[in-house]
Amino acid sequence: MDITQLFILTTHSLHWFREQGFSEIQISELPIKKRDLYNFQRNSKILALDV
């Protein structure tokens, strides 16, 4: 299994993940399986990191 990207959903630690090199992305950029599970009520920020 080749992992090329990490995805993080957070409601409180956005600044910390940005400091670690993650970039905020849109929900449309998530893999379909993850996008289908996204809970809009939580209003999580979505971040990604290329590995």
Number of domains present in the structure of the chain: 1
Report, as an integer, the average pLDDT of 18-40. Answer: 96
SS3 content of the chain, % helix, strand, coil (to 5): 30, 25, 45
Give the CA angle between residues 33, 37, 13 to the nearest 5°.
Answer: 110
- By residue range, what is the domain housing residue 9? 5-50
pLDDT of 1 > 90? The answer is: no
Q: What is this structure's pTM?
A: 0.86
pLDDT of 5 > 90? The answer is: yes
Q: Using 50, 70 and 90 to split pLDDT, how confident is the model at 37? A: very high
Task: At 16, list the tokens.
Answer: 């910390």
**Residue 48 phi, psi dihedral angles, 5° rounding:** -140, 155
**Residue 5 phi, psi dihedral angles, 5° rounding:** -150, 140
